[in-house]
Amino acid sequence: MTGGIAVEWYFAILLMFGLLIVLMATGMPISFAFIFSCIIGAYLFWGGEAGLEQLAMSFYSSVTNYNFLPIPLFILMGDIVFTSGTGTRLIDAVDQILGKLPGRLSILAIGSGVLLSTMIGISGGSIGILGKVLVPEMDKRGYAKAMTLGPIVSSGTLAILIPPSALAVFLGAVAQVSIGRLLLAIIVPGLMVAALFVGYIIIRCAINPALAPDYEVPLVSFSQKLKTGLTQIAPIVLVIFAVIGSVFTGIATPGESAALGVIACYILAAIYRKLSWKTIRLSAQDTVHVTVMVFFIVVGSISFSRILATTGAISALTHWATGLNVHPIFLIIATQMILVFLGAFMDPASIVMITVPVFFPLVKALGYDTLWFAVISLMNIQLGLISPPFGLDCFTMKAIAPGNVTLGDVFRSSLPFMLLGFLSMAMIMIFPQIGLWLPNLMAR
């Protein structure tokens, strides 16, 4: 780019990020805060009016990107499950199969959360379903808030870690990490987190049974359980194969697998006799709401990273950071601490758009695997959704919880699960193979 003013790299970063954060703090829509910063940045660094024309051009190329296709489609899958009532049916089925266990309903929340996550691409979707179905039942059984709210909120965040994950696609597309490999790389960490949650519930309820009082579980014969499994849960295999299996076997690209996933969800809703025109229309409209929110941030923010790149700020920052006399892992930890901090205040899409242009070149320069970094970053962002003071999923939970539940209750209940999430993240930082072996298996 020619004609712009030449400034020190740290001035460019300070100006662009400073302006963005101040505008965001005023409550301006984040997409417009990006557009404002871009107008100023384009005018200064891209050469006045020519820069603004260039900015207008970049709006066109912002979302005309085939890699973004899975985002609306993964979100649509979740909306079909939610609108059609398929999710409620699934919880009932898992409830029948699950035997007598300490903290049974809390485990039911996590188990159902995992299954719902195979069909729901965004966090928050399954919290709505689980919260409405399970909270009244848990309340009736005398479950403590810690065992009611925590498991539901935390299982909601699994939607980010188990494919289909719209945020994984978004991160992959922006960071230019293979989306197919990333979707496979998050499966084992996602299941590991779920297993840790279940383990924690069992141990805590065994130590203190008052948290989740025992109750008589209706006796269900093995043949009945088998029947429920085959008729109610087995059809989900169709969705899992459409989304994960098709990518793993190389039948479809992530975009195509998302489309197949949508069709599988329609078929599933039809099998359960829940498919109607109303379901199709409402789910599609809800999808547009969420997708447009994300894509409009992309419209504003793609130019933001381009402007920063053309000022030389990103490469200078990377050069500066790699020249520091510290072990590279401390820089990785620093990036994760920034994500934790941002996660407490911002929505995931904005965090991705702000940090990816800076973090990923740095990670590459430090010689780390960007796929591994994408996995731990996703886990971190997912934890931001349940972290105080502004974890979005906690607000969702508060909205559907009974009136006597305070936001403080929700945050306190989710805290142990958040710590378990950080523990899993640390394990993946130390043992990258937890995330990498499945995509490497596919490569073979």
Partner 1 sequence: MKALRKAEIIFDKIIDYMLMAAAAIVVLDALAVSADVILRKVIGFTWAPLYEIITYSLLWMTFLGTTAIMRMNGHVKMDSLTSQLSPKTDALLNSITHCVCVLLAGVILFYTIKLTITDYQTNFVLASILNPPKWPIEIIIPIGFFMLFVQLIRNAKGFFEKYKSLSRREKPAVDHQVRGDKVSSPN
Site for partner 1 in 10-49 (CB under 8 A): 24-32, 35-36, 39
Question: CB of 394: closest distance to partner 1 in angstroms?
Answer: 13
In terms of CB distance, is 287 or 377 closer to partner 1?
A: 287
- Within 199-255, strands assigned E span none
Cα separation values, 154 from 117, 329, 414, 416, Å: 12, 28, 7, 10
In terms of CB distance, is 76 or 307 closer to partner 1?
A: 76
Q: Does 65 bind partner 1 (CB under 8 A)?
A: yes
In terms of CB distance, is 113 or 164 closer to partner 1?
A: 164
In terms of CB distance, is 72 or 103 closer to partner 1?
A: 72
Q: State the residue for tokens 């929700």.
A: 410
Cα–chain center distance at 346: 13
In terms of CB distance, is 345 or 437 closer to partner 1?
A: 345
Question: CA–CA separation, 411 vs 388, rounded Å?
Answer: 6
Site for partner 1 in 318-377 (CB under 8 A): 345-347, 349-350
Q: Does 169 bind partner 1 (CB under 8 A)?
A: no
Q: Are 344 and 390 in contact, with CB atoms under 8 Å apart?
A: yes
In terms of CB distance, is 9 or 390 closer to partner 1?
A: 390
Q: Phi-psi region for residue 391, left (φ > 0), alpha (ψ -120 to 50) or beta? A: beta
Residue type, 144: A
Extract the tokens encoding 156: 């909601």
For the chain, what is the radius of gyration of the CA atoms? 23
Extract the tokens encoding 303: 């130019």
Closest CA to 439 of 76, 189, 125: 189
Q: Does 259 bind partner 1 (CB under 8 A)?
A: yes
* # of chain residues touching partner 1 (CB under 8 A): 59
Question: CA–CA separation, 345 vs 343, rounded Å?
Answer: 5
End-to-end CA distance of the chain: 42
Question: CA–CA separation, 397 vs 287, rounded Å?
Answer: 20
In terms of CB distance, is 200 or 248 closer to partner 1?
A: 248
Site for partner 1 in 211-250 (CB under 8 A): 246
Site for partner 1 in 98-157 (CB under 8 A): none
Binding region for partner 1 (CB under 8 A) out of 110-118, 180-188, 193-201, 277-285? 277-285
Question: CB of 390: closest distance to partner 1 in angstroms?
Answer: 5
In terms of CB distance, is 214 or 256 closer to partner 1?
A: 256
- Within 276-355, strands assigned E span none
Extract the tokens encoding 21: 């954060």
Site for partner 1 in 383-422 (CB under 8 A): 389-390
Residues that bind partner 1 (CB under 8 A): 24-32, 35-36, 39, 52-53, 55-57, 59-60, 63-66, 68-69, 72-73, 76, 246, 251-252, 255-256, 258-260, 262-263, 280-281, 284-285, 287-289, 291-293, 295-297, 299, 345-347, 349-350, 389-390
